[in-house]
Amino acid sequence: MQGAGTAVCLGSDIDTDIIIAGRYLRTKDRGIWVEHVFEDLDPMLASRMKGAVIVAGKNFGCGSSREQAAVALKEAGVVAVVAPSFARIFFRNGINVGLPLIECHLPCTAGQNIRFDLTGGWVESGRKRHPVRPLSLRMQEILRAGGLVRYWKGHR
Amino acid sequence: MSTLSERILGADAGDYVDRKVDRAYVHDGTGVLTLESWKSMGGDRFADASHLYVLFDHITPANNSTTATLQHELREFACSSFLQFSDIGNGICHQLMSEGIVLPGEIVVGADSHSCTLGAFGAFATGVGATDMAAIWLTGETWFRVPATIGVHLSGTLDGVAEAKDLALTYVGKLGMDGATYQALEFIGEGAAVLEIDDRLVLCNLAVETGAKTGIFYADTMTVKYLAARGHDVLPQVPEPCDYCRELDLDLADIVPVVAVPPRVDTIKPVRDLAGLPLDQVFVGTCTNGRYSDLARFARVVGGRKVAVRTLIVPASRAVLAEAIRTGVLADLVDAGCTIGSPGCGPCLGAHMGVIGEGEVCLSTANRNFRNRMGVGGEIYLVSVATAAASALSGEITEPEVP
């Protein structure tokens, strides 16, 4: 599982309210989540999500269990999120919707090209390659299937 | 020798296990996506519908027709599929599950981050997202990584004006917002034994604010008595020596009234440091502090006086509201000038019924004070019920007096 994208740098403890606010949750229209992703942090961020690799600080995705946060990032075109640690519900949600999450402390330079290989267990920014903590086998299977919905479809 | 989480999950910390889920619940917010994912998985039946709950609490009653339509679809589905269904006005999912449903030793999963609240009964209770829940609907199981456990040793008793909420905010401040990520908090010691069930629910509720997978108490005589009153005959769980990855000692006698200063739940300061901060709204309620004991405490502190700032009180459940009516507490709150909301989550998540405006300050008994959560440009300070009551009387942050 390889991928690449453009670095968008964010801070630590990015909570799910900031990723997608509670006022936008009562809909099944994914376009609304894409349109308002990170709105309360920076209204311009949504336009920079396509092809982005978000490089954040620790505890990314803390707070509410809302899966819309992971879906919003995925649907907006985020390729992967790299952070030293993730809140556990967000971590499960991300993998479940097919969004690669990479546990690694990565220095961030905005606009830099980031490449990663989840099977090989590394992420690269500029010319420097960093080892990443491998996903559990189950999570790798779910991600490879394209998310938990497709994983279970394939198992039945 | 095992921690309680290891004992319930039947494996050692760090192991990955698949486990049958004893009870699984969603609310109107997460249920809509759960249903969508379940259908997309090819769902046409349930592993065991009798253990699946759909409990409306997040935006109840519906705030607009979009919400109403989504709720209508989920309500029709839940009822026609014979899931355990609770409609608007019955109360908050975690509160309903705590009113004699969840039992010691069970594995309980909720599609809401505060599902860890139910650890108060010696159950392994944790939150997941909607698609994880859809897989539980389908298979009756889910996977867990068995958490390492932080032992939180409690000694002494709460005296004076501090309450369980102050203790909870204090430990969140000590551990930090990611201090227990992927881990469990196990509350033990003589100080744990004297805490009422309502207090234990508060301590477990805040566990997720440290990143923890769950907060958990051993079922003891207090638990047995509480559940016996609700028709369940259960046995206490006896602690055994075990390995904690970290230990935290808290003497309850040292706990003072505190505030979580926005925008972080782990920025904890004594109430007296913020005394005098003007308020626009006081909100008492939520899965943290919306129980009958909270409403009664608020009324006791107010003691026949009038609130000086708009004050919204939202009972956590219909049972809480009924008890407050029966004892006269509700009349006291209304006479004091408080506004009473329909049982549910109220404005906590910023969707309806008491959201705040640009530049407004809300003093709240809830569990999150993230930026813009209760309304764009508003700020949320988190406190105990007694602090909320003392502050409602003065219109500014005020330390409660020793009763």
State the nearest Cα–Cα gap between B240 and chain A, in angstroms: 28
Cα of A127 to nearest chain B Cα, Å = 31
For residue B194, the distance in angstroms to the closest alpha carbon of chain A comes to: 30
**B269-314 residue pLDDT tens:** 999 999 999 999 999 999 999 999 999 999 999 999 999 999 999 9
pLDDT tens digit string along B32-62? 999 999 999 999 999 999 999 999 999 999 9
Judging contacts by C-beta atoms under 8 Å, the chain A residues touching residue B376 are 21, 40
Distance of CA B393 to the CA centre of its chain: 26
| Closest chain B residue to the Cα of A155, Cα to Cα | B41
Interface pTM (ipTM) of the complex?
0.94
Assess contact for B60 and B80: CB atoms under 8 A. no
Please give the residue of chain B at the shortest CA–CA distance from A154.
B41
Distance from the Cα of A129 to chain B's closest Cα (Å) equals 26
Mean pLDDT calculated for residue range B134-140? 97
B363 phi and psi angles, rounded to 5 deg: -100, 120
Instruction: Report pLDDT for B159.
Output: 83
pLDDT for residue A126: 84
The answer to whether A148 contacts B66, with C-beta atoms less than 8 Å apart, is no
What chain A residue is nearest to B347 in terms of C-alpha separation? A22
Between CA B106 and CA B51 the distance in angstroms is 12
pLDDT of A156 above 70? no
Task: Give the pLDDT confidence of B315-329 residue by residue, as tens digits.
Answer: 999 999 999 999 999
- DSSP letter string, B69-121: HHHHHHHHHHHHTT-EEE-TTSB-HHHHHHTTT--TT-EEEESSGGGGGGGGG
Interchain pair B130, A62: CB under 8 A: no
Interchain contact, B129 vs A92, CB within 8 Å: yes
Tell me, yes or no, if B69 comes closer than 8 A to chain A by beta carbon.
Answer: no
- Which string of b and e fits B332-345 if b means at least 16 CB within 10 Å? bbeebebbbbbbbb
Q: Is the pLDDT of residue A133 over 90?
A: no
Q: For residue range B89-113, list pLDDT tens digits in order.
A: 999 999 999 999 999 999 999 999 9
Contact B183, B14 (CB under 8 A): no
Identify the pLDDT of residue A119. Answer: 87
Q: For residue A120, give its domain range.
A: 2-155
Examine the pLDDT at A155 and tell me if it is beyond 80: no
Q: Which percentage of chain B shows pLDDT scores above 70?
A: 100
> For residue A103, what is the domain's CATH number?
3.20.19.10
- Among candidates A23, A28, A40 on the partner chain, residue whose Cβ is nearest the Cβ of B351: A23
* Domains held by chain A: number: 1
Compute the nearest-CA separation of B266 from chain A (Å). Answer: 11
Q: Which residues of B touch A59 (CB under 8 A)?
A: 177-178, 181, 211
How many contacts, defined by CB atoms under 8 Å, are there between A and B? 124
Report the b/e string of B169-190 with b at 16+ CB within 10 A: bbbbbebbbbbbbbbbbbbbbe
pTM above 0.90, yes or no: yes
Q: Is the pLDDT of residue B393 over 70?
A: yes
Q: Do A97 and B143 touch (CB under 8 A)?
A: no
Domain architecture of chain B: domains with CATH: 16-144 (3.30.499.10), 149-254 (3.40.1060.10), 258-394 (3.30.499.10)
Mean pLDDT of A9-16: 97
CA distance A7 to A138: 28
pLDDT score at B191: 98
Q: pLDDT tens across B233-269, in order?
A: 999 999 999 999 999 999 999 999 999 999 999 999 9
Report the chain A residue with the minimal C-alpha distance to residue B35. Answer: A28
- Mutation pick from B131, B181, B267 vs chain A, by most beta carbons of A within 10 Å, is B131
- For residue A96, with 0-12 CB atoms within 10 Å meaning exposed, 13-18 middle and 19 or more buried, which class applies? buried
Average confidence score pLDDT of chain B: 97
Return the residue of A nearest to B112 by Cα. Answer: A65
State the smallest CA–CA distance between residue B246 and chain A in angstroms. 19
